Structure 1
Amino acid sequence: MKALLEQVLQGQIRAIARVITRVENSTAVAEEVIQTLYPHTGKAHIIGITGSPGAGKSTVVNALVQTLRQKDAKIGIVAVDPSSPFTGGALLGDRVRMRDLSGDPGIFIRSMASRGSLGGLAQATASVVKVLDAAGYDYVLVETVGAGQAEVDIANAAHTTVVVEAPGMGDEIQSIKAGILEIADILVVNKADRPGADRTVRSLQMMLHLGPVGGTRKSGRLSSTNGTEANDIGWNIPVLETVATKERGMAELADMLGQHMIHLRNSGEWLQRERERSWREIETLLQQRFMRQFQSSVTSERRESLLTAVAAREVDPYTAVNQLLSKSETDV
């Protein structure tokens, strides 16, 4: 493993692929890998690409990466696909759509199965992003599943969140229901050559300036203040029009990503987002480790008896939890 991780730091593609596979399949290996690679991370610009199915996320990623490659940037792509209910694997559909990028040594594409995780990301996504960061990639693009109304986790995993919309995908209320306006740093209306694109752009721009729902935002999050001062330090969410199949609007999107990175650095929000992201990751790891310790300390017979009692209305759920926790603490 030590030799393999040294090859990762050198940017060797086969080593990166092998390490990512081991990270996905083993929590213990993921811990060892991240402990070794973590001092070499923190340099990549992590970009989240999310939106409803059919909006053209994969096509936008494909065209955007080709634009970024013109600047000689190394790019890692993590495409999270829905899991098969039978095998648990990913369909790898994003690799089919991104075949234009194959063969480029400056691009690494990895499809991952969500494996039942909600929020649009797989549980191992954060670790995989760190592997690519340590391997020297300038940008790491994370494309979510496209679940529709449960993909806000990407806002906690990325520095810049790009939300892709398309005309004819539903009414404007859908954007509010999905939490899109709360998590977006950049809004992209793809397929802008279709009828109704102008209306979609105007509707999104209008909602960005509505009081409690829109208003002044600071890097994709609603600001509590409204006024000149907030506008000076905040980030005004742009609404960009693209036609990804024709690579139209990609230069503007790439430029806006650079502007947002500069804003994060100059405003101090880069560090703030790193702190928030780190805390959520630590919190998740604590929950996972606690559950493993808890399950090993409470026998299956004890759990089954309590479940039976709760189902029979002999014990309420809160009392059952208290009994399980007290038993666990006693064993510790």
Structure 2
Amino acid sequence: MSDLEELVGRARAGDRGATARLISVVERRAGAGEPIGIADLWSARPRVVVGVTGSPGAGKSTLVDRLVGAWRTRGHRVGVVAVDPSSPFSGGAILGDRVRMQGHTHDPDVFIRSVATRGALGGLARSVPEIVRLLGLVGYDLVVIETVGVGQVEVEVVGEADVTVVVITPGWGDAIQANKAGIMEIADLFVINKADRAGLAETRRDLVAMLDLGHREPRPPILETVATSGEGTDAVAEAVVALAAELDDRGILKSRVAARRRRAVERVIVDRVLRAAADADQAVWAQVEAGTVDPGAAADALLDALEIAPGHGARGGSSDE
């Protein structure tokens, strides 16, 4: 039995230290574009993957903390992957969402991990899809991906989630800008958190109007919570699981999982081509840096050096990969 197989066995038995070590392996190898080397990882998945996103200050971490508790009372083993911005100095995660979820520290059926974005495209760390699959492999049937809620990560997370929850607050702000960011399109469920604040009715009205304008059918449910007190969080926990079951019955989850697996391969291809291109022809890169060649011509030259026909795919050449 290999060391990784032994760790997987221990993680399945509830050893959270083994799970943490496996995630470290996944982060290191996925970040380097290397094969992970864990048997059955590719086909593994949790029963439900929940994306939780929204603007900073919406109370996402507090809401997730409450949801974890609600799902645990229903018998779910829950994993949380908190995607944080990277420290510009260490490259590590800096928000520390685990600090806000200390109530679950001693629960052997809850595993919480903060993951740095490390400058990944769209803000979503490259290792997140593999970490989610790993948590499914070792027995966590419900996994939450919580995003920091900046840049394009709100849109990116939907590609890795079965059900996406968008958290907003009363006095939501510029609705048009939010719509441009893609938030309206990715949500399977809206949660208006901090519902004890002024402006709740107006926020719900504006949200319904925007959904009507976008002709979303069926319209995503809109629920209200006060996460600090737990009010409304049980209803959200139940709604998420019910939505996942509904999407599964309609065949939507199957298509989302298939697209997710395709994107995983595409990410590896992009990473490997970019790494190879960086070393392919330094004369071309010198021209790029000097501004003496346009991007299209430079890309053609680099692809040619990699024996990839520009605009037409591989020419049949082999590589050492």
- Tell me how far apart the structure 1 counterparts of residues 174 and 274 of structure 2 sit (CA, whole Å): 41
Q: Indicate the residue corresponding to 2:297 in structure 1.
A: 319
Select 2:276's aligned residue among 281, 293, 297.
293
Seen in structure 2, the aligned counterparts of structure 1 residues 159 and 149 have a Cα distance that, compared at 3 Å, is: same
Unaligned runs of 5+ in 2: 309-316
1:292 Cα deviation after fit: 2.7
Contact 2:117/2:124 (<8 A) preserved: yes
Q: Indicate the residue corresponding to 1:306 in structure 2.
A: 287
1:95-144 per-position Cα deviation (integer Å, ceiling 9, x unaligned): 11111221111100001111112434211101110110101111000001
1:49-79 per-position Cα deviation (integer Å, ceiling 9, x unaligned): 0000000000110011111111121100000
Select 1:103's aligned residue among 96, 101, 106.
106
Report whether the alignment pairs 1:246 with 2:250: no
Report % sequence identity.
43
1:299 Cα deviation after fit: 4.0
Contact 2:41/2:134 (<8 A) preserved: yes
1:172 Cα deviation after fit: 2.1
TM-score, length of structure 1 as denominator length: 0.86
SS in 2 for 1:195: coil
Amino acid at match of 1:46: V
SS in 2 for 1:112: strand
Amino acid at match of 1:110: R
Seen in structure 2, the aligned counterparts of structure 1 residues 308 and 267 have a Cα distance that, compared at 3 Å, is: closer
- Tell me how far apart the structure 2 counterparts of residues 72 and 329 of structure 1 sit (CA, whole Å): 53
1:30 Cα deviation after fit: 6.1
Amino acid at match of 1:319: A
1:235-254 per-position Cα deviation (integer Å, ceiling 9, x unaligned): 43001110000101111111
Aligned residues: 306
1:195 Cα deviation after fit: 0.4
- Tell me how far apart the structure 1 counterparts of residues 98 and 298 of structure 2 sit (CA, whole Å): 47
- Tell me how far apart the structure 2 counterparts of residues 23 and 320 of structure 1 sit (CA, whole Å): 34
Alignment of 1:52-131 (within 5 A): 52-131=55-134
Select 1:278's aligned residue among 261, 282, 289.
261
1:294 Cα deviation after fit: 3.2
Q: Indicate the residue corresponding to 1:222 in structure 2.
A: none
- Tell me how far apart the structure 1 counterparts of residues 189 and 62 of structure 2 sit (CA, whole Å): 17
Q: For structure 1, which segment, 286-295 or 264-273, has the greater mean C-alpha deviation from structure 2 after superposition?
A: 286-295
- Tell me how far apart the structure 1 counterparts of residues 155 and 255 of structure 2 sit (CA, whole Å): 18
CA RMSD of aligned residues (A): 2.0
1:35 Cα deviation after fit: 4.5
Q: Indicate the residue corresponding to 2:215 in structure 1.
A: 215
Q: Indicate the residue corresponding to 1:223 in structure 2.
A: none
Amino acid at match of 1:273: R
Contact 2:50/2:163 (<8 A) preserved: yes
1:308 Cα deviation after fit: 4.7
Q: Indicate the residue corresponding to 1:227 in structure 2.
A: none
Amino acid at match of 1:32: I
- Tell me how far apart the structure 2 counterparts of residues 282 and 123 of structure 1 sit (CA, whole Å): 12
1:87 Cα deviation after fit: 1.2
- Tell me how far apart the structure 2 counterparts of residues 104 and 136 of structure 1 sit (CA, whole Å): 14
Seen in structure 2, the aligned counterparts of structure 1 residues 304 and 293 have a Cα distance that, compared at 3 Å, is: closer
- Tell me how far apart the structure 1 counterparts of residues 74 and 49 of structure 2 sit (CA, whole Å): 17
